[in-house]
Structure 1
Amino acid sequence: MAHLLGIDLGTTTTIVARVDESGAPEIIRDWEGEAITPSALCFETATHVVVGREARAMAEDAEHAFLEFKRDMGTGVSHPVFGQRVTPLDLSALLLRKVRTHAEAAHGPVDLAVITIPANFTNAAREATLEAARRAGFAQVHMINEPTAAALAYARGQKQPLDGLYAVFDFGGGTFDVSLVRAKGMSVQVVFTEGVQRLGGKDFDAKLTALVAAKFQAETGDELRAGDCEFSKADAEDLKHRLSSRQAIRLPLRSAKHGRVHIEVTRAEFEAAIAGLVAQAEMACEGVLLRAGLDRRELAGVFLAGGTCRVPSVQAAVHRVFGQEPQLRDPDTAVALGAALYAAHKADPAKLSPAQRRRAAEISFQDIAPHYYGTLSLDDDGVLENSIIISKGEKLPVARTRTYYTVEADQRVLTCEVTQSAIPENDPLMVLRIAEVEMALPAGRPADQAIEVTFAYDLNGIMRAEFRDLGTGQPLVIELRDEGAGRGSLNVAKVTLG
């Protein structure tokens, strides 16, 4: 039997699932016996790191404690720790190593792991996540977008098989994504995805903290500050959870200067404070329908994932945008369970038990291009622009060809570039250049020599960009490999001329 893991590596929590002997996904409880592990680390020394619930409890006072580092994956952020600097990649690797060693102690060596990522993660963040998994000791790793994983979990858990178009609304602790999928049974086809990378439950907590601070100041005339009156991140999260089931909460705050201070926070005040954040999610939902060219009346259902979906005003916003009551079932664990199912889909069938193989055979998966891919060219007015060749949302595999022309007589060099963007952007300053290779051209030719450009993106996460001089027939081929298993982390793997 293969040991397959699905890991929801979240901003605030990490949840791990495995595929059991029968081929069904199940949650693996952590080293403290809990299903949900805080994504928290605390360095007690340069070599001793506390991970999880204990680290989160230490975070308010410890100098070298880290929370919410997922938000900075793929950036230049680093932190000083006992004479060295650590990055979000380093922190993620330490967390994943703890997850791996615990899972292996309970169930043996891991054959394959699937780690979930936000659909709107940047290329650099995807690459950093993959590298963190490698450093953690996972031999074979794939990645899947979080809302897609949630869709697989919902597909398995229905009394009646899915059949139609569905929206998956995934609102976690630090990121937000919404995907449209077509599903029939356990066959899931991604249609389109939108998201906001820095939008999640922690932003709600910050608004709630500001609301409590304003009420404290109105009551006492003093600012709410550490050393006098403590109101921690954990306190804000707890208050958020309580306001999801109650209309008002009376908080007894302890102040060194003022003694016990009672303030009341109502759900209406909380909802007013987070209205702008909820509106961002609503706009993304409207955008995913618009860009997919679909109407909300075509939806057969709406699924919720992520703990932030428990907030009543979030559920109301989903109902408002999509025009129907969303389903909320196991929002904390859906992404991890779906990732475990995807692990079975990606595993070598020869390593699966007969029961696992039967379950894996039920799953089929149609992915899409995760970004817009193009090249730089001059428009009719001689202005440099980004020319899109493969559009975000196109079904894989996909191949597209466009013809361009040289602009100068006796042009000796052609700069072959591949660009990537999250939106259909024409401005060359607003796109990421992921490949740039020069190709020599024959001397003495007039302008307007045809250059045929073909981009082909396959199911294995490899994109082939061919720039062919039609006058000579000579091609320059740039092969970009997605080492994140189809999730958009393209890197130049090979360049071939002629």
Structure 2
Amino acid sequence: MSVTAVVDFGSSHTVTVVHAPGGVPRVVNVDGEPYLPSAVFLTGDDSLVVGHDALQMAAVDPSRLESRAKAKIAQREVLLGNTVVPVPTVVLAILVRAVKAAASVVGAPVDHLVLTHPAAWGPAQRNGLLAAAEDLAPQISTIVEPVGAGVWYATHGRVGVDGADRFPLGAVLAILDLGGGTTDVAVVRRERGGIVVIGRSSIPDLGGDVFDERIISYLRQTVPGLAEVLVDVSAPGRVSLVQLRELVAFRREVRRAKELLSRHDQVELRLPGGLPGAVLRRADLERVLYADIDRITAFTLRAILSAGVEAYELTALQLAGGSARIPLLRHKLAEVVPTPIQLDDQPEAVTALGACAVAVSHDEPGRPQEHPVAAPPVKPDPRPRRARRQAERPRGPQTFVAFLVAVGFVVLAIGYGVVLKPANAVTGDALATSERFALPPPEAGTEVVSGGDVTDGLVTGRLDAPVRVSDGDTDLEWTVREITDPATDELVRAGARKPLPDLRWVLVDTSIRARARATAPYFLRDTFLADDRGLLIPAARDQPLPCPTETPGTLDAGDTARQCLAFAVSVRTRVSAVVISRVTGGEQVGARVPVDGATPAGGPVTGRALPLGAVRPLWVGNSGVRAAIVDVVTRASAYVSAEVVDRPGHRAVLVRAVVDSPTGVSVPDLAARLLLRDDRSQPVSARQVSDRGGCAVGTASGRFTVCAVFVVPSGMPLGSVAWSGDDSRPFLWQLP
């Protein structure tokens, strides 16, 4: 009989899961709870007491309590009272209690002990944990916490299941672990060898314990008599054992109420000191915790983006930790993370349950998987223990310097993200993710439109045949030789950037022959792809191409040149023509060559964008700004002159945005970063900036309005607005 136990050693609480052959992974209850407080108390006879009893005994001498052993795992010793205790001894006491509880559940000793640890831990922390666990089981191994949570999402703890239906190869999952002492966000990807961590961030001072203290503080202020009865642990000289036991029991009662309020609108609390019961309502809980949950929500979004992933690309956001049950958290996350949010019945146990599934699946023979959901748990260094301890022994100043360098690197990585920008320089620690910018209603006006059809003035040609194009100054024969759609692989091999998932590259190979002497750039800047609605898609600039673009300064009559162009096109957009379109003297001139583009992807774009007014951070030049798209004005005559709409069958659309910047930033630069997208995600660049109706121009600071003007076909449905800074892919706002 082979028994596997997983101990998820947490900063505040420890969760244990056990599995025996023929059974399923089970969460181990300790003292009637599905977790064990990670607290250790040193008694007067130098014995160690663990869990709830340790918290109660701390009334005798709080200095003898260690309640954050995990945070000190890399240290050699701690001071409990006047006694120096090795940290492995403190951690061992917790692990022993957990392993004994697991063995008692299945009635057999543990053969394989799996220890989880944060993704940020280095060798010192992992070795400290392994040193504490020596001799607790014949086999000991470790697994990264986010991997365990990812496996749970994929398999729901089922042994031997690869979970590819829920978490396929290449998919990306975010995990928000709201523990007792910390809040951790990790982003993981399913690869051929299993789940790997591609990003991680942590708030070290915010978790469920902070929530409990905020609730207790609120009750002290609002429940008559409670402040007098409830002991103040900051004054240990006046604390009796009875009082501290009442406080410990009341904290457990508050935690119970917090969990019940995830399912009920209100709950009755048992109060200490013989006080009558009190009612705690969900609305009270949400009001007390609102600022903390807003902070966690903003942090989660930043962590996802820092991993190089757009929130809408996630397969899901898996919640872990007991406080993840709070409904307000899911509500706020849903506002900024447009992906399914997964909350399970036992969120505090998802990491341990997933880790157990991994360990048992790799331990049991006859369960081969072509693409395992995760690699097997990591076994410790096989060297003899004495040699391993000798190798891990501190080495004086050199070790200390290396430690400082390592700490500096971790701070750099966590604080600066993937683009080496200060993580809080834009948003601030306390930025409310629900913050909204608003503007007065737009000024009254009418539509700014031009009559006619989008093809008016364009000569129709055909593929691989010359067609004459002349604007009176430049007279050419233009031939569309070939169109490659899609051409993403060809362009990426040539060195072009890989497009976003909802875009593709299209390559057009053309040639020109001068009918009379002509000068550059000919009609190169007036060459577009046209979709089936008449939207003109401009060519991308400065992208390496697999074929040449020749732009000699002049062409004499009869001279030729080859011109290749690349276009970024939505995967949902059908390309119908290659077009030369130039407006001269108020008239459109040029040519249109119909082509058969690739069959577009089906289905509308849904669930990807933010609500209007939602504030997001942008890094522009050397300035961190907060910005929001507020509305779109289709009756824009109060902001836009009719001359702006120069092509037939088009209209002007104005997008109004609010920016808050501590320093002066260029308004045209901000507007140039805006892209209006149709309902198929095809982007359109802004034509100009409006200076009417309170719209800012030039350089502006403080809070101001940016008004970007777009010219689009009259029949083009509006979908969303994209806005990007220097350091991330675009944020998207949904248009009505």
- Shared fold (TM-score greater than 0.5)? yes
Is 1:237 the counterpart of 2:255 in the alignment?
yes
**For residue 433 of structure 2, what is the aligned residue in structure 1?**
none
Write the letter of the residue equivalent to 1:114: V
The 3-state SS of whatever aligns with 2:147 is helix
**Residue pair 2:358, 2:376 contacting (<8 A) in 1 also:** no
Please, which moves more after superposition, 3-12 or 245-254?
245-254
Is 1:29 the counterpart of 2:40 in the alignment?
no
- Work out the CA distance in 1 between the residues paired with 2:271 and 2:6: 41
**Residue pair 2:315, 2:340 contacting (<8 A) in 1 also:** no
- Work out the CA distance in 1 between the residues paired with 2:227 and 2:36: 39
The 3-state SS of whatever aligns with 2:25 is strand
Is 1:317 the counterpart of 2:332 in the alignment?
yes
**For residue 442 of structure 1, what is the aligned residue in structure 2?**
none
**Residue pair 2:212, 2:251 contacting (<8 A) in 1 also:** yes
Is 1:99 the counterpart of 2:122 in the alignment?
no
**For residue 332 of structure 1, what is the aligned residue in structure 2?**
348
The structural deviation recorded for 1:94 is 0.9
Is 1:182 the counterpart of 2:189 in the alignment?
yes
**For residue 471 of structure 1, what is the aligned residue in structure 2?**
none
Instruction: Specify which of 207, 211, 223 is matched with residue 214 of structure 2.
Output: 207
**Residue pair 2:261, 2:281 contacting (<8 A) in 1 also:** yes
**For residue 117 of structure 1, what is the aligned residue in structure 2?**
117
Is 1:289 the counterpart of 2:304 in the alignment?
yes
Is 1:354 the counterpart of 2:365 in the alignment?
yes
**For residue 192 of structure 1, what is the aligned residue in structure 2?**
199
**Relative to 1, partners in 2 of residues 1:341 and 1:251: Cα closer, same or farther, differing over 3 Å?**
closer
The 5-angstrom pairing of residues 431-450 of structure 1 reads: none
**For residue 9 of structure 1, what is the aligned residue in structure 2?**
9
**Residue pair 1:73, 1:88 contacting (<8 A) in 2 also:** yes
**Residue pair 2:180, 2:209 contacting (<8 A) in 1 also:** yes
**Residue pair 1:25, 1:340 contacting (<8 A) in 2 also:** no
**For residue 166 of structure 1, what is the aligned residue in structure 2?**
173
**Residue pair 2:181, 2:208 contacting (<8 A) in 1 also:** yes
**For residue 464 of structure 1, what is the aligned residue in structure 2?**
none
Please, which moves more after superposition, 3-12 or 224-233?
224-233
The structural deviation recorded for 1:102 is 4.7
Aligned-residue identity in percent: 24
**Relative to 1, partners in 2 of residues 1:250 and 1:305: Cα closer, same or farther, differing over 3 Å?**
closer
**Residue pair 1:285, 1:321 contacting (<8 A) in 2 also:** no
The structural deviation recorded for 1:336 is 0.9
Is 1:225 the counterpart of 2:243 in the alignment?
no
- Work out the CA distance in 1 between the residues paired with 2:51 and 2:261: 25
- Work out the CA distance in 1 between the residues paired with 2:227 and 2:102: 52
- Work out the CA distance in 1 between the residues paired with 2:279 and 2:97: 41
The 3-state SS of whatever aligns with 1:8 is strand
**Residue pair 2:77, 2:84 contacting (<8 A) in 1 also:** no
The structural deviation recorded for 1:195 is 1.8
- Work out the CA distance in 2 between the residues paired with 1:28 and 1:206: 27
- Work out the CA distance in 2 between the residues paired with 1:319 and 1:299: 13
**Relative to 1, partners in 2 of residues 1:325 and 1:138: Cα closer, same or farther, differing over 3 Å?**
same
Structure ranking higher in strand proportion: 1
The structural deviation recorded for 1:46 is 2.8
**Residue pair 1:114, 1:343 contacting (<8 A) in 2 also:** yes
Deviation sequence 1:354-385 (CA, Å, 0-9, x none): 35x44798444499xxxxxxxxxxxxxxxxxx
The structural deviation recorded for 1:190 is 2.4
- Work out the CA distance in 2 between the residues paired with 1:426 and 1:207: 27
Is 1:422 the counterpart of 2:401 in the alignment?
no
**Relative to 1, partners in 2 of residues 1:75 and 1:209: Cα closer, same or farther, differing over 3 Å?**
farther
**Residue pair 1:59, 1:66 contacting (<8 A) in 2 also:** no
Write the letter of the residue equivalent to 2:185: V
**Residue pair 1:113, 1:142 contacting (<8 A) in 2 also:** yes
Deviation sequence 1:70-90 (CA, Å, 0-9, x none): 344445883435x62336543
The 3-state SS of whatever aligns with 2:14 is strand
**Relative to 1, partners in 2 of residues 1:290 and 1:33: Cα closer, same or farther, differing over 3 Å?**
closer
**Relative to 1, partners in 2 of residues 1:197 and 1:88: Cα closer, same or farther, differing over 3 Å?**
farther
- Work out the CA distance in 2 between the residues paired with 1:153 and 1:32: 25
**Residue pair 1:171, 1:307 contacting (<8 A) in 2 also:** yes
| TM-score, normalisation: structure 2 | 0.43
The 3-state SS of whatever aligns with 1:116 is strand
- Work out the CA distance in 1 between the residues paired with 2:183 and 2:103: 31
The structural deviation recorded for 1:320 is 2.3
**For residue 308 of structure 1, what is the aligned residue in structure 2?**
323
**For residue 445 of structure 1, what is the aligned residue in structure 2?**
none
- Work out the CA distance in 2 between the residues paired with 1:91 and 1:72: 10
Bigger radius of gyration among the two: 2
**Residue pair 1:4, 1:344 contacting (<8 A) in 2 also:** yes
- Work out the CA distance in 1 between the residues paired with 2:33 and 2:275: 34
**Residue pair 1:6, 1:341 contacting (<8 A) in 2 also:** no
The structural deviation recorded for 1:52 is 3.9
Length, aligned pairs only: 366
Q: Which has the higher contact order (CA 8 A, sep 6+)?
A: 1
**For residue 313 of structure 2, what is the aligned residue in structure 1?**
298
| TM-score, normalisation: structure 1 | 0.61
**For residue 373 of structure 1, what is the aligned residue in structure 2?**
none
**For residue 132 of structure 2, what is the aligned residue in structure 1?**
132
**Relative to 1, partners in 2 of residues 1:62 and 1:309: Cα closer, same or farther, differing over 3 Å?**
same
Please, which moves more after superposition, 204-213 or 86-95?
86-95
Deviation sequence 1:396-455 (CA, Å, 0-9, x none): xxxxxxxxxxxxxxxxxxxx979432254699xxxxxxxxxxxxxxxxxxxxxxxxxxxx
The structural deviation recorded for 1:17 is 2.4
- Work out the CA distance in 2 between the residues paired with 1:425 and 1:194: 9
**Relative to 1, partners in 2 of residues 1:222 and 1:44: Cα closer, same or farther, differing over 3 Å?**
closer
- Work out the CA distance in 1 between the residues paired with 2:90 and 2:143: 21
The structural deviation recorded for 1:95 is 1.4
Write the letter of the residue equivalent to 1:270: L
- Work out the CA distance in 2 between the residues paired with 1:301 and 1:189: 16
The 3-state SS of whatever aligns with 2:339 is coil
The 3-state SS of whatever aligns with 2:153 is helix
**Residue pair 1:189, 1:366 contacting (<8 A) in 2 also:** no
The structural deviation recorded for 1:282 is 2.0
**Relative to 1, partners in 2 of residues 1:313 and 1:68: Cα closer, same or farther, differing over 3 Å?**
farther
**For residue 481 of structure 1, what is the aligned residue in structure 2?**
none
The structural deviation recorded for 1:143 is 2.7
- Work out the CA distance in 1 between the residues paired with 2:370 and 2:112: 14
- Work out the CA distance in 2 between the residues paired with 1:107 and 1:359: 31
**Relative to 1, partners in 2 of residues 1:417 and 1:169: Cα closer, same or farther, differing over 3 Å?**
closer
**For residue 149 of structure 2, what is the aligned residue in structure 1?**
150
The structural deviation recorded for 1:207 is 0.8
Deviation sequence 1:26-73 (CA, Å, 0-9, x none): 126357676533434444553544444554565566765554443444
**Residue pair 1:120, 1:196 contacting (<8 A) in 2 also:** no
Instruction: Specify which of 354, 358, 370 is matched with residue 342 of structure 1.
Output: 358
